[in-house]
Amino acid sequence: MIAFDTNILARVLLGDDPRQSPAAHKAVIRAARNGGVFVPLLVFAELSWVLGAAPGWDPARVRRALEALLNMEGIEVEAAGMAREALAAATGSVGIVDNLIAAVARGRGCSKFLTFDLRLVRTGRAELLKT
């Protein structure tokens, strides 16, 4: 199994570099067919940020790309259930990463997830830390 850095997976999904994108695509496909690709949860989270900052990538498109990554044969995303949960819970106001943090905290058995982010609090996935 091979792990790739965020920048390689971003080149595959964005297809925005004439030299790096084809090389990244070939490497990921080859690895997926020969032992598999491991995507650490941190790479998954960072990838959501990178894609979300790219021109023409709205939250729905980012979500579709990450769902495709989760469903691709030969690719194993760490804590895939939590990643799926974060994608399903993501909205325009509360993104994938905040929902992923909440899912990981709950998965680790934390009794509370405290934040100053009122939008996240409104989802019921966190509690407000009062000042």
What gap in Å lies between CA 117 and CA 10, rounded to an integer?
Answer: 28
Between β-strands 2-3 and 114-115, what pairing exists: parallel, antiparallel or unpaired? unpaired
Architecture of domain 2-128: 3-Layer(aba) Sandwich (3.40)
Whole-angstrom distance, CA of residue 101 vs CA of residue 118: 15
Going from N- to C-terminal start, the domains of the chain cover 2-128
- Helices 20-33 and 6-14 sit at what angle, rounded to 10 degrees? 110
Answer yes or no: is pLDDT of 92 > 90: no
Write out pLDDT tens, residues 19-74: 999 999 999 999 999 999 999 999 999 999 999 999 999 999 999 999 999 999 99
% of the chain residues with pLDDT over 90: 98
pTM given for the model: 0.92
> What are the φ and ψ backbone dihedral angles of 16, each rounded to 5 degrees?
-100, 0
Given a cut of 90, whether residue 93 has pLDDT beyond it is no
What is the residue-wise DSSP string for 42-105? HHHHHHHHHHHHSTT--HHHHHHHHHHHHHSTTEEETTHHHHHHHHHH--SSS-HHHHHHHHHH
What token pair was written down for 64? 């579709």
Confidence at residue 28, expressed as pLDDT on a 0 to 100 scale: 98
Average pLDDT, rounded, for the chain: 96
pLDDT cut 70: percent of the chain above it: 100
